[in-house]
Amino acid sequence: TEGHIFYVKGDLELHEAYAIYRKGQEFIDPKTNAVLANNTQLVAVGRVFRKGDVANGVPASVKLEQVKQEIKPADFLMPAMDGQLLPAYFNIHRPEQRVNGTIIASVSGLREFSTMDIVVLNLGSEQAIKEGHILDIERQSPTVFDGRNGPRYKEDSNSLEKLVTDTNEFFGVEADEDTQVWHMPKEKVGELMVFKVYNNVSYALIVKNQHPIRVGDFAVIN
């Protein structure tokens, strides 16, 4: 509760405000399965009223000013405004280089989202992404089987057909004479603007969409 005192192992600045965070969802790269970053959840805000002395085993004393959730031992502190400020304005432009990324999460947690929703990309400063970059959102059109019973989407085919097609694609083998496999192109379904960039992930605002946007859609510049 507000006014509660807790103790922190660390060298904190006297009278400074600190935000208390909890480690949350891992952001996974869909191509490599590597953990790109962790989402953090704001738990509370406190202010240091007594400095500690780590060398002599004395913790810093912090008084809570705002509380959103119960504080737990594994939560961590950062200066209250560290990394939270956004630029006063954005230089909105398209990157000069080709970009090929993926929407890996959404802030809302919903399956589909639209204009003004915030999404997470597996692109960051290491991929030369900057605040203000405008990227196209594309979606892979589904594979089509054209066989004896007429054309149908891969998702509507039976398990054996899917297995054969996936195996053929892996080994670079063309479809048999009875079935033609059509690999459909990607189509543009919207645009987004990057507004916050970290090393390997970034946050972006959907600014235009023709269809609901989904996790797994691509963020690209061709």
Q: Where are the domains of the chain?
A: 5-79, 99-140+186-221, 144-182
CA distance linking residue 137 with residue 214, whole number of Å:
10
Q: What is the tens place of the pLDDT at every residue in 31-53?
A: 999 999 999 899 999 999 999 99
**Distance (Å) of CA 175 to CA 142, 145, 152:** 16, 9, 15
Taking only the tens place, the pLDDT of each residue in 136-187 is 999 998 887 777 666 676 666 555 555 555 555 554 545 555 677 888 889 9
Residues 75, 84: Cα–Cα separation, whole Å: 18
Would you say the pTM of this structure is higher than 0.85?
no
> Which class is domain 99-140+186-221?
mainly beta
